[in-house]
Chain A
Amino acid sequence: MQKKFIAAAAMAGILFAGSASAQIKIGFHAPQSGPAAADGKSSTIGAEIARDWINEKGGVNGQKIELVIYDDQNKPDQSVPIANKLIGQDKVVAAVSGSYSGPTHAAATVFQNAHIPYISAYGVHPDITKEGNWAFRGVQLGQPQGKGAAKFIADKFGKTAKVAMITMNNDFGQSIADGFKEEAPKLGLTIVKEYTFGLGERQFGPIVASVKADAPDVIYAIGYYFVGGPLVAQVRSGGLKQPIVAAQAFDSMKLMEIAKDAAEGIYIVGGMDRGRTTPADFQPFLAEFKKRAGYDAEAVAANCYSSVMLMADAMKRAGSTDPAKVREALAATKNFPMLTGPLGYFNSVGELYSPLEVTQVKNGQFVGVTVIDDQSILAPPK
């Protein structure tokens, strides 16, 4: 009897505490355990820095923001109940995904049905925004990234360059590869062969041997840094000297730790120039992230930081936390300074337009090489 009373009192306390706080609640989910935990940790720290800096400057419309954070284990079957909990129990007015495409896509449906604005900070699957008009994406889709890579290769290595593609066979890799394969022939590039590998792959001996036989002018590698590190090291130790152009997810200081000298000279299309001084919060963010995490920030952390900042900005512009008004303000975003590059606009399905930065590894650092800002190539697909 007494136990029941205590439980009831505790429950009432929790409910009361929840309703009494005058904070704006933003839901956030990321993989904090399981295989994707490393990115989940970075993305969570990125989002928390945004929260703290917003609150230090007085919050949004006079209210502090609160992130309600859950671990989705990078599983769609976790992100759906989390989304329901965020909506039903935590009563969030908006949400940000710091997770990969799978869980983000699944949760997007729930937020769509509940009419809660939702930003996928770095999940690139095209379907995430297809559920309706409540989901937005804080990063370029894979397709424009792939097209941008084709343009960069044609500009840099000549329009008749022969390219060997080494592609990761998940939705991230495939969507970039699709964009590349669409644009490359238009620019005159020849794709000599496309090799694919799984997320768990670390041994590329056979692929390296075969690429050697293909003798391409350029190697275009699409994958995450933890696959990319062993890949480029094995490409170089296999005696291949061709320039390597890589996709966005190579952007991690871990790449240099893993690949060591083999990482030198790699180009990353969609990378993040660490020496940039714009926007004004970029360098302070890098410093703060390093302080909190103990390691250097990568793009996912910057994406999550910017997505939370963007959501707060939309609330300010809406002058309200009413989800419908926030959604409208988000959709009307123009020239918002994301850390990964200025967000030009959102198209009708919530895909952003943003120029694509190309970086190169020089002396173990990501250094800016050029910026691709071409509407005809990078315009988000509808």
Chain B
Amino acid sequence: MLFVELIVKGLVYGCMYAMMAVGLTLVYGLLRILHIAHAGVFALGAYMVVTVANATGSLAAGFLVALVVSALAGMAIYRLAYQPILGHPPFVPMVVSIGLFIVMQEAFRMIFGAYGIAFDTNPWYVATISPGGITFNYVEIAMVIASVVLLLGFGLFAGLTRAGIAWRATVTDPQMATSFGVDPVRVRYLNFMFGSALAGIAGGLVGLLNNYVEPTMGGLVSYKALAIIVLGGLGSVRGTLIASLILGVVESFGTIYLADVFDRDAIGFLFLIVVLMVRPQGLLGRK
């Protein structure tokens, strides 16, 4: 029973990682930038949800604002921070990104206070259902539903619509796509818009799950998401999704059976190292 419960809990956390990591892998696939500041957008989304929900009493309004603000923030980050330095070697945007992430964390601290903010009312957080003897609170359920719906929607969009095909074409071969009339800059905006909105929603859900939104909440997920996209094979969305779920489950078991030896956060990286020794290109990456 415990065994099943650990797998299920791990998959729930895997969904959370997936929502965060997909945006990161999309940016890497398109621009070859390790977009660390993505974790700042994640925290921004959480702050939007908590402040709007506490002010208006409506979680829906909170998530709507978070969706819009995170999407805009993502596009602004691309326009203001990355576009001017795209011609430089990859470590330059990475350093910019790390700097930006630190600035965002400190900005949250100054604007929203050093102490975190809890939701005034958070009914989902304590409400639970126990199908098959495994207890979930409603936020966990919402996390799974949100990630499945959003990622499925993204899959359909990328597979079936014109803009989605242009997007995939640009990721595969930017020059060829451009010569077929795809505007790469528009694709990049789309990319940041979607990835950031997803991260913002994930941030809001994690805020609800912890009932606590804090300036540094992006820190832990940022490096886990980095591990996930490397594990999945940099730039591979499918690999990222699989890696997210695997990491969730591995951590879940590790917390119980390996915690005397390793920190839970170290377990993910240990797993990463082991996988990369066997498959240096990641789970689904191309050589």
Which of A's residues lie within 8 Å of B, judged by CB?
33, 35, 37-38, 40-41, 169, 194-198, 200-203, 205-207, 209-210, 213, 226, 229-230, 233-234, 236-239, 254, 257-262, 295
Known: A239-B128, A239-B135. A260 touches B122 (CB 8 A): yes
Given A209-B6, A260-B122, 9 more A-B residue pairs with CB atoms under 8 Å apart are: A169-B263, A197-B259, A198-B264, A205-B252, A229-B118, A229-B211, A234-B137, A237-B125, A237-B137
Cβ of B130 under 8 Å from chain A: yes
Cβ of B150 under 8 Å from chain A: no
- Pick the contact of A254 from B12, B116, B253 — CB < 8 Å? B116
A261 to B, closest residue via Cβ: B126
- Pick the contact of B212 from A207, A213, A229, A237 — CB < 8 Å? A229
Known: A206-B255, A233-B125. A196 touches B260 (CB 8 A): yes
A259 to B, closest residue via Cβ: B211
A315 and B255 alpha carbons, distance in the complex (Å) = 50
Q: Is the CB of A35 within 8 A of B135?
A: no
A371 and B114 alpha carbons, distance in the complex (Å) = 32
B36 to chain A, nearest CB (A): 16
Q: Which secondary structure dominates where chain A touches chain B?
A: helix
Q: Is the CB of B211 within 8 A of A196?
A: no
Known: A230-B210, A237-B137. A206 touches B6 (CB 8 A): yes
Complex contacts, B259 vs chain A, CB 8 Å? 169, 195-197
| Interface residues as binary, B100-125 with A (CB distance below 8 Å gives 1, 0 otherwise) | 00000010010001111010001001
Complex contacts, A35 vs chain B, CB 8 Å? 215-216, 219
Complex contacts, B239 vs chain A, CB 8 Å? none
Q: Is the CB of A295 within 8 A of B115?
A: yes
Complex contacts, A226 vs chain B, CB 8 Å? 116, 212, 214
Complex contacts, B135 vs chain A, CB 8 Å? 237-239
Q: Is the CB of B114 within 8 A of A37?
A: yes
Total A-B pairs, Cβ < 8 A? 115
Q: Is the CB of A197 within 8 A of B264?
A: yes
Q: Is the CB of A205 within 8 A of B13?
A: yes
Complex contacts, A201 vs chain B, CB 8 Å? 220, 264-265
Known: A239-B128, A254-B118, A258-B118. A202 touches B265 (CB 8 A): no
* B2, B115, B134 pick with most chain A CB within 10 angstroms: B115
Cβ of B9 under 8 Å from chain A: yes
Q: Is the CB of B212 within 8 A of A202?
A: yes
- Pick the contact of A230 from B113, B114, B212 — CB < 8 Å? B212
Complex contacts, A205 vs chain B, CB 8 Å? 9, 12-13, 140, 252
22 sampled A-B residue pairs with Cβ under 8 A: A35-B219, A37-B114, A37-B215, A40-B114, A41-B114, A194-B260, A197-B264, A200-B265, A201-B264, A201-B265, A202-B209, A203-B209, A206-B9, A206-B10, A209-B5, A210-B6, A226-B212, A229-B212, A237-B137, A260-B118, A261-B126, A295-B115
A197 to B, closest residue via Cβ: B264
Kindly list the 10 A-B residue pairs having the minimum CB-CB distance in the complex, ordered from nearest: A205-B9, A37-B114, A200-B220, A38-B114, A257-B118, A209-B5, A202-B210, A206-B252, A38-B115, A206-B255
Complex contacts, A41 vs chain B, CB 8 Å? 114-115
Cβ of B80 under 8 Å from chain A: no
* B113, B125, B137, B253 pick with most chain A CB within 10 angstroms: B125
Cβ of B256 under 8 Å from chain A: yes
Q: Is the CB of B126 within 8 A of A260?
A: yes
A325 and B9 alpha carbons, distance in the complex (Å) = 59
Q: Is the CB of A237 within 8 A of B128?
A: yes
A230 and B260 alpha carbons, distance in the complex (Å) = 22
Known: A229-B212, A237-B128. A198 touches B263 (CB 8 A): yes
B153 to chain A, nearest CB (A): 25
B154 to chain A, nearest CB (A): 24
Interfacial residues of chain B within 218-251, with CB under 8 A of chain A in the complex: 219-220, 251
Known: A38-B114, A239-B135. A198 touches B9 (CB 8 A): no
A258 and B125 alpha carbons, distance in the complex (Å) = 10
A191 to chain B, nearest CB (A): 13
Complex contacts, A207 vs chain B, CB 8 Å? 255-256
Complex contacts, B106 vs chain A, CB 8 Å? 33
Complex contacts, A261 vs chain B, CB 8 Å? 126
* B126, B251, B255 pick with most chain A CB within 10 angstroms: B255
A198 and B118 alpha carbons, distance in the complex (Å) = 21
Complex contacts, B149 vs chain A, CB 8 Å? none
Complex contacts, B252 vs chain A, CB 8 Å? 205-206
B263 to A, closest residue via Cβ: A198
Cβ of B160 under 8 Å from chain A: no
Complex contacts, B255 vs chain A, CB 8 Å? 195, 197, 206-207
Q: Is the CB of A210 within 8 A of B256?
A: yes
* A205, A237, A239, A258 pick with most chain B CB within 10 angstroms: A205
Q: Is the CB of A209 within 8 A of B109?
A: no
B128 to A, closest residue via Cβ: A237
A213 and B135 alpha carbons, distance in the complex (Å) = 13
Cβ of B278 under 8 Å from chain A: no
Complex contacts, B260 vs chain A, CB 8 Å? 194, 196
Q: Is the CB of B128 within 8 A of A254?
A: no
* A33, A198, A258, A295 pick with most chain B CB within 10 angstroms: A258
A236 and B128 alpha carbons, distance in the complex (Å) = 10
Known: A35-B219, A236-B126. A258 touches B211 (CB 8 A): yes
A33 to B, closest residue via Cβ: B106
B214 to chain A, nearest CB (A): 7
Complex contacts, B277 vs chain A, CB 8 Å? none
Complex contacts, A234 vs chain B, CB 8 Å? 137
Known: A205-B13, A237-B126. A230 touches B211 (CB 8 A): yes
Complex contacts, A230 vs chain B, CB 8 Å? 209-212
